[in-house]
Each structure stands twice: as C-alpha cells, then as structure tokens.
Amino acid sequence: MPLIKMETSVTLSEEEQEVIVSALSKIAAEAIGKPEAYVMALVSPATMSMAGAKGPAAFLDVRSIGGLNQRVNREISKRVADLLGERLEIPADRVYIGFTSVQGVDWGYNGSTFG
C-alpha cells in the first residue's frame, strides 16, 4: 500500500504527468519491495516558495506500512532527485521528501483497514 504523492510548481502536460506518475510508482515499488499493484502514485500542481524564492520545486510525501528505513529512504530520495532533475529540471536542493511509516490499523482500504 505504498503511497507516493508529489506536488510541484512545474507546469506539466498530461503526457508529462503520466510519465512522472509512472516513474514514481516504479521507484516506490522497487525501493520499498512491494508489488507495484499495491502502489498509489499521484502528481498535483502547487504554488510553491522554497528558500524564499519561487521557481521549480517539488514536495513528495511517501507513506508505507513497513518497508521504509534509512537505506530505502535514501534510495528513494536519490532516484526521485535524479528523475526530477532529468525530466523536469528541478534541482535536487529544491526537492523535499517526507517519509512516514504507517501502522496497518491507520490505513483504510476497501471498506476496512490493513490492520
């Protein structure tokens, strides 16, 4: 049930959104070690300021029931920074990522919870 959610100040075409959301889904699945069939990935536009300045930036929220740890979080951070730098020209120092480990009981799905 990993979730990877990105908000960005970069205006994306529909095609770019599809490419990025697909890449984020794959990054989360591979790094966390869960099947991509369980991953939710989303990309949303946002008005942002970072370090007091406008410009290309992104915030990502990564949540998972299990699977997150120092190694995994660093891998996701590196891969996301590389992706956003290459595809969207967002410098790595303008990307924040929050990681949250969630208890199964605190995550709803299909009319119930995972715990």
What residues are labeled active site?
2
- Residue in the block written with tokens 């529909």: 14
> What is the pairing mode between strands 3-8 and 58-64?
antiparallel
Bridge partners of residue 6, in order along the sequence: 43, 60
Judging by beta carbons within 10 Å of its beta carbon (0-12, 13-18, 19+), is residue 43 exposed, middle or buried? buried
